[in-house]
Amino acid sequence: MSAPLFSFAGVTGGYGATTVVRAVDGEVAAGEACCVLGRNGVGKTTLMRLLTGHLPLQSGAVTFGGRPMDGLAPDERHGLGLIYCPQDRPVFDNLSVRENLTLMASADADRYAPLLAAFPILEDRMAQSAGTLSGGERKILSFVRGAAETGRLLLLDEPSEGVQQENVERMAAFLHEAKAAGRALLIVEQNLAFALEIADRVIVMDHGEVVLAGNAADMTEATLAAHMHV
Amino acid sequence: MASFLGHSAALVAALAVLPQLVGEFWAYTLALYFLYAIASLGIGLCWGQAGFLPLGQAMFFGLAAYLSGLSLIHFKDSWLLLLLLPGAALAPGLLAYGIGLLVFRGRTLSGPFFAMITLALTLLAFQIANSWNDVTGGFNGLKNIPGLPGLSDFTDLYYISAVALAVCLLAIAWLRRAPAGVLWRAVAQNEQRVRFCGFAVQNVKAAVFGLSGVLAGIGGALYAPQQNLVTPQLCGFILSADLVIWAAVGGRATLYGPVVGAVLIGILTADLRDEISYWEVILAAIFIVVVLYFRQGLMGFVEPLFERLSRRRAPRALDSPARPQASGDTGFALDDVRVRMGSVSILEGLDLAIDGPGIYCLIGPNGAGKTSCFNAMTGELPVRSGHIRIFGSTRTGNAADLLSRIGVGRKFQAPSLFPDLTVAENFNIGLWGGRARLRDLLGMRSHGWTSAILREAQARFPFLAEEDRRAGDLSHGQRQILELAMVLIAEPRLILLDEPSAGLSQTETQEVIEAIRWVSGRLNASTVIVEHDMTFVRELADRIFVLHQGRLLASGTVAEIQADNRVRAVYVGASA
Amino acid sequence: MDPILTTNILNVVYEVSTLAVVVLGLAVVFGLLGVMNLAHGEFVMIGAYCAFFVQTQNLPFLAAVPVALLVCIVLGLAVERILVRPLYARPFDTLLATWGLSMLLREGVEAVYGRGFKSVAVPLTDSIDVLGADYPSYRLLLAAVSIALVAGLVWWFVRSATGRRIRAVVNNPELAGSVGIPVTALARNTFVFGCCLAALSGVLLAPLMPVQPMLGLDFILKSFFVLVVGGLGSLVGLISGSGVIGGVESIVSAFFDRTYGYTTVLIIAILFLWLRPNGLFPRT
């Protein structure tokens, strides 16, 4: 098997001198989805911020497309094809929905057409400022923005948080499509059913460490829930 | 104490011998820079100790110089000078204290705001001095000010300045070591924690600023009779800037730094200004380099060595005075409390009440308003409507320091302590809060305070007995526990803990659970815990409150909550 | 209309509009980088000296504009690289470093040109009749240029792709990096842009004020007060802050004298700090 598209080993870091994430390993190959699970406050979002370059690593290494990521700023990683949709504050509240989507590109209708057809609520609110959307709608906007980008790796931090069930299912459909198109997905989730629907691999975290990792096919919801302490 | 006396003797001897070594001319020049050095010491106190930067200190120097000059002109040889001259030195202190109370009361980021206000004030002072011809003599200033009665030659002037400098240095050396100094450094590092330990931070900072005003005042009051001339420039921007540069280059956080800076740079400037036309530019560049790379300044390389040699911590041998307890009530109630941030509603009519000791857990999904509930209770978030009662009295919007003094303790989610202070000093701030009176803060005995809770905490967590370690060097888990211990030694009756197990290992979590159970029984307090870890909640909670979307969703025992379908819908809803 | 009243109104318009241009540069830098550039006023001062320099070279007044922009681009790039970027996470030290920079620039100019007042000839010496009041045409032109500049920049800020990206970074810096906005380069360019705006004001104002090394102090303080009063939230805040500070100062100074104008402004700023610390239009 060829080297995975995205891999990280011994990732350790946190805020200032505080270590939140300790020695976390993982990898995602093209066309594959890996889900990071765990209850609130175990370091999942911190892990994502370490992987995307928003926080400096205290130790460990991150490799994307065979290239070490150390010292690269978030926008440089984005340029290489690492697309990130954060959990908290996923959109620019002071910009309109349209501006959020066209910030980095011209109003490229083709790119967004299938996504906007699937999530018509956005189409209705194009001129509205994103800060007036509900939490779930913001998540959808963020998802649409990320899914439409062409980067090879998509990092999603709790995409389904606050999103209605039918829209969560539509997200899942798009993510399956993305996998089929050869994109790699790394997704943080609390919604077990959604996670297991997409995931090929699973990582469960607790107290900043990996407590369970393996193929999604080998896991049941019950085992996972037990390891998550929920 | 012995080292303090030794220090004093050495200082006095050095200052006494100096004129013999350098000759009369230099003694006279030194005398002037000693006066500036005294004012610069005030910058050291504000900036190096308490962490706020005054950019307009010359207004106090100038004010004192004008007052002293006017007194000497109008009351030459009168006994009234015995009152007027000290008055001239103290008046700027009062003014600074008043300005401090005014500016620090607005609980904003004191950094840029305070610096800019003082800068503006010094420009204003210059304009007043420059244009109020009748009193200040306008642009030409006060001329022919008589000297101090009975003192004439250069050496006399030197000794007056030297004595003033020595007295100020010794007073500051004492204060830096006293609890007051520890408190100032604590304010510089973490104002919020100082407030939650029961100190009114704005008063502490105003007092430091007042003191710096007195120091500038002493310098200015002696300047007038020494130079016989007072001009508006003494209140102005350039002297203000020089005082800051001297403190920075000499070492703002050290005792002697501002003096070394003032004397060294002052004399170099007097010597080189005419020879090197770009001298002032070079000086500004040196200042920038110090800010960028050598924040401790010159004396920062020297003084710590001596301090480490001479510092010996007082043993904890003295039981701290008991905290005044108003009543045995430990209950609180939130009644229809609403909080908004911008357009986002955070608490939407929260009702929550407990009426007796016990351990209560506050749970709920992200954004349910758990931490905001604590923030509203401790005055950190403005309450738009509703009432908060604590221990039976209305406490809506009361400041954290007041609440701390009546017996409310709070631990934050991320450890909030004083990273650059030692473990001992962290504990002391906790012990002094609500207990220490002014004279305890000025004397040395309260360094040795201890309490039963402190002893027990140190027995439970042995690393807490290694009191000379820097708090910032502790591991995350240890810092969580240190902060918890700091909250507990204040012996609160209502203890608010925000995710005390966040970032702790399994073993540490277990130790913290036991510590909370122990202390809450020991103090017979109400303990309210925000927590996500359900193992933690199951082990500790007498009663659980579930928050959802800024309201109380359910409350009950662990079993009741586990059986509650509404709660399950909120929690598992996302994963069902 | 009473000519004296007209003159006073025009004076207020002039004060407010020219102040708004200076503040705009400071506010954009503060909003995007979180850096309070205490040397902002010295860039105004450098602009004014460029106008003086051009005059000594017998070049036309407007030649000062490219000279000032060139000087400030070079200087701004160097300052951003050496002082601002390394101190990004230490806002208090940035404040000190830029304060040090302000001294450096002031002393540097003083070492070259001395402390004395220089004067720059007014390019338009005639005056225009406005509703019965005889008003100097250069002042009128300057007010018009300032209003056009602020309006143009606001329009650009709202409409252009770069303006949108700047607003995006201000709102959510973390997400901005993640969607591929080159945050570092944008911050650098914004800083340089702020310096250039200050320098441009300096050039244009030079004929109407005594040019001397300390002139920047007045601008940085007034600009800071505008931000205190208006709040850091929006352009509306900035313009209303300029209105309050510039307006009050010019009115009080007209009726009493400059010291009173200055004192009033200072008192207003302190009251705002105290009673309304986030200004008229707070950042949400």
pLDDT digits (tens, 9 = 90+) for C64-89: 999 999 999 999 999 999 998 888 77
The string of pLDDT tens digits covering residues B113-143 is 788 888 888 988 998 898 888 888 888 888 8
Q: From CA B538, how far away is CA B476, in angstroms rounded?
A: 24
Strands (E), chain A: 6-15, 18-28, 33-37, 59-64, 67-68, 82-85, 153-157, 184-189, 201-206, 209-215
The string of pLDDT tens digits covering residues B364-410 is 876 788 888 999 999 888 888 889 988 888 888 888 898 998 889 99
Residue B57 and residue B247 in contact, taking contact as beta carbons nearer than 8 Å = no
Cα of A75 to nearest chain C Cα, Å: 4
Looking at residue C195, its pLDDT comes to: 95
**Is the Cβ pair A39, B532 closer than 8 Å?**
yes
State whether residue C21 sits within 8 Å of chain A by CB. Answer: no
Looking at residue C275, its pLDDT comes to: 75
Cβ neighbours of C266 in B, within 8 Å? 117, 120-121, 124
Q: Under an 8 Å CB criterion, which residues of B touch C?
A: 53, 55, 102-103, 105-108, 111-113, 115-117, 119-121, 123-124, 127-128, 131, 237, 241, 245, 248, 277-278, 280-281, 283-285, 287-288, 291-292, 295, 342-343
Cβ neighbours of B123 in C, within 8 Å? 217, 221, 262
Point out the domain boundary residue: B237, B271, B301. Answer: B237
Give SS3 for A137. helix
SS3 content of chain C, % helix, strand, coil (to 5): 75, 5, 20
Q: Under an 8 Å CB criterion, which residues of B touch A?
A: 343, 365-367, 414-415, 472, 476, 479, 499, 502-506, 509, 532-535, 571, 574-576
Bridge partners of A18, per DSSP, are A15
Looking at residue C284, its pLDDT comes to: 54
The string of pLDDT tens digits covering residues C241-284 is 999 999 898 888 888 887 888 888 888 887 887 777 777 777 65
One-letter identity of residue C168: A
Which H or E run includes B543?
strand B543-548
Report the half-sphere exposure of B268 (CA within 13 A, side-chain side).
Answer: 13
Mutation to test the C interface, candidates A82, A94, A102, most C Cβ within 10 Å? A94
ipTM of predicted assembly, 2 dp: 0.88
State whether residue A226 sits within 8 Å of chain B by CB. Answer: no
The answer on B347 and B227 residing in a single domain is no
Cβ neighbours of A193 in B, within 8 Å? 575-576
Point out the domain boundary residue: B237, B265, B293. Answer: B237
B175: containing domain: 2-237
pLDDT, chain C, mean = 89
Residue B234 and residue B226 in contact, taking contact as beta carbons nearer than 8 Å = no
Cβ neighbours of C183 in A, within 8 Å? 73-75
**Is the Cβ pair B574, A230 closer than 8 Å?**
no
pLDDT surpasses 60 at C184: yes
Cα of A9 to nearest chain B Cα, Å: 21
φ and ψ of C70, to 5 deg: -60, -50
Cβ neighbours of C90 in A, within 8 Å? none
Say which DSSP state B448 is in: G
Tokens of C199: 């320098």
Q: In what order do the strands lie in the sheet with B358-363?
A: B408-411, B494-498, B526-530, B358-363, B543-548, B551-556
Which H or E run includes A170?
helix A165-180
Q: From CA B565, how far away is CA B537, in angstroms rounded?
A: 18
Residues 6 or more apart whose Cβ sits within 8 Å of residue B308:
none
DSSP codes of every residue in C101-148? HHHHHHHHHHHHH-SS-B----S---EEEETTEEEEHHHHHHHHHHHH
Looking at residue B274, its pLDDT comes to: 79
**Is the Cβ pair B106, C99 closer than 8 Å?**
no
B472 → chain A, closest CA residue: A17
**Is the Cβ pair C214, B237 closer than 8 Å?**
yes
What is the rounded average pLDDT of the residues C91-113? 90
Looking at residue B383, its pLDDT comes to: 87
Cβ neighbours of C171 in B, within 8 Å? none
Looking at residue B13, its pLDDT comes to: 82
Looking at residue B307, its pLDDT comes to: 65
**Is the Cβ pair B574, A20 closer than 8 Å?**
no
- Does residue B22 or residue C147 have the better pLDDT? C147
**CATH (residue range A4-228):** 3.40.50.300
What is the rounded average pLDDT of the residues A44-53? 92
Cβ neighbours of A198 in B, within 8 Å? none
**Is the Cβ pair A19, B476 closer than 8 Å?**
yes
**Is the Cβ pair B281, C104 closer than 8 Å?**
yes
Cα of A95 to nearest chain C Cα, Å: 7
φ and ψ of B346, to 5 deg: -105, -50
How many Cβ atoms from other residues are within 10 Å of residue A80's Cβ?
14
What is the rounded average pLDDT of the residues B12-24? 79
DSSP codes of every residue in B179-244? HHHHHHHHHHH-HHHHHHTT--HHHHHHHHHHHHHHHHHHHHHHHHHHHS-B-GGGGSHHHHHHHH
Point out the domain boundary residue: B219, B237, B255. Answer: B237
Burial class (CB in 10 A: 0-12, 13-18, 19+), B241: buried
Tokens of C57: 């070279």
**Is the Cβ pair A78, C175 closer than 8 Å?**
no
The string of pLDDT tens digits covering residues B260-292 is 999 999 888 888 877 877 888 998 999 999 988
Looking at residue B105, its pLDDT comes to: 78
Residue B500 and residue B414 in contact, taking contact as beta carbons nearer than 8 Å = no
Looking at residue B343, its pLDDT comes to: 67
Cβ neighbours of A40 in B, within 8 Å? 365-366, 532
Cα of C123 to nearest chain B Cα, Å: 31
pLDDT surpasses 70 at A108: no
Mutation to test the A interface, candidates B366, B370, B475, B482, most A Cβ within 10 Å? B366
> Among the listed ranges B110-114, B184-188, C190-194, which one has the minimum average pLDDT value?
B110-114
How many domains, chain B? 2
Residues 6 or more apart whose Cβ sits within 8 Å of residue B2:
none
What pLDDT band is residue A88 in, cutting at 50, 70 and 90? confident
Looking at residue C73, its pLDDT comes to: 96
What is the rounded average pLDDT of the residues C30-54? 92
Looking at residue B106, its pLDDT comes to: 65
Residues 6 or more apart whose Cβ sits within 8 Å of residue A28:
A4, A5, A6, A7, A34, A153, A184, A185, A186, A201
Within-domain flag for B319: no
pLDDT surpasses 90 at A83: yes
B507 → chain A, closest CA residue: A207
State whether residue C184 sits within 8 Å of chain A by CB. Answer: yes
What pLDDT band is residue A25 in, cutting at 50, 70 and 90? very high
Residue B410 and residue B374 in contact, taking contact as beta carbons nearer than 8 Å = yes
- Does residue B275 or residue A184 have the better pLDDT? A184
Structure pTM? 0.85
Tokens of A151: 């980067």
What pLDDT band is residue B574 in, cutting at 50, 70 and 90? very low
Cα of B504 to nearest chain A Cα, Å: 7
C274 → chain B, closest CA residue: B106
Distances (CA, A) of A172 to A34, A91, A185, A194, B172: 13, 20, 12, 7, 67
Q: From CA A64, how far away is CA A80, in angstroms rounded?
A: 9
Cα of A132 to nearest chain C Cα, Å: 13
Tokens of B342: 């911008």
Looking at residue A120, its pLDDT comes to: 87
State whether residue C180 sits within 8 Å of chain A by CB. Answer: yes
pLDDT surpasses 60 at A85: yes
For chain B, the C-alpha Rg in angstroms (whole number) is: 28
Domain definitions of chain C by residue range: 3-216
C182 → chain A, closest CA residue: A75
pLDDT surpasses 80 at C19: yes
Q: From CA B374, how far away is CA B416, in angstroms rounded?
A: 15
The string of pLDDT tens digits covering residues B494-508 is 999 998 887 677 778
Give SS3 for B154. helix
Tokens of B5: 């006396």
Give SS3 for C221. helix
Q: From CA A182, how far away is CA A107, in angstroms rounded?
A: 25
The string of pLDDT tens digits covering residues B519-550 is 888 888 899 999 877 778 888 889 999 988 88
Within-domain flag for B256: no
Q: What angle do CA B59, B62, B66 make, to 5 degrees?
A: 135
Residues 6 or more apart whose Cβ sits within 8 Å of residue A220:
none
Within-domain flag for B443: yes
Within-domain flag for B377: yes
Looking at residue B309, its pLDDT comes to: 54
Q: From CA B166, how far away is CA B211, in angstroms rounded?
A: 16
One-letter identity of residue B474: L
Q: From CA B239, how far away is CA B36, in angstroms rounded?
A: 9
Q: Under an 8 Å CB criterion, which residues of C touch B?
A: 36, 83, 86-87, 91-93, 95-97, 99-101, 103-104, 107-108, 110-111, 214, 217, 221, 224-225, 228, 257-259, 262-263, 266, 269-270, 273-275, 277, 284
Mutation to test the B interface, candidates C227, C270, C276, C281, most B Cβ within 10 Å? C270
Who among C161, C171, C178 is closest to A78 (CB)?
A: C178
B343 → chain C, closest CA residue: C284
Looking at residue C204, its pLDDT comes to: 95
Residue A218 and residue A202 in contact, taking contact as beta carbons nearer than 8 Å = no
Which H or E run includes B18?
helix B2-22
The string of pLDDT tens digits covering residues C196-235 is 999 999 999 999 999 999 999 889 989 988 988 888 767 7
Residue B495 and residue B488 in contact, taking contact as beta carbons nearer than 8 Å = yes
Looking at residue B2, its pLDDT comes to: 60
The answer on B215 and B340 residing in a single domain is no
C-alpha closest to that of C281 among C215, C220, C237, C225: C237
Cβ neighbours of B106 in C, within 8 Å? 273-275, 277
Continuous H helices in B75-144: 81-105, 110-131, 133-136
C-alpha closest to that of B220 among B298, B129, B124: B129
Instruction: Please name the chains neighbouring B, where neighbouring means 3+ C-beta pairs under 8 angstroms.
Output: A, C
Who among C108, C259, C273 is closest to B113 (CB)?
A: C273
**Is the Cβ pair C175, A92 closer than 8 Å?**
yes
pLDDT surpasses 80 at A226: no
One-letter identity of residue B294: F
pLDDT surpasses 50 at B575: no
pLDDT surpasses 80 at C134: yes
- Does residue C217 or residue A227 have the better pLDDT? C217
Q: What's the N-to-C CA distance of chain C in angstroms?
A: 42
- A vs C, Cβ pairs < 8 A, gives 65
Cβ neighbours of B121 in C, within 8 Å? 266
Cβ neighbours of B535 in A, within 8 Å? 229
Tokens of B437: 């009176």
* 64-103 in chain C: CB under 8 A from chain A: none
Give SS3 for B160. helix
Distances (CA, A) of B471 to B191, B416, B475, B477, C17: 16, 11, 9, 12, 52
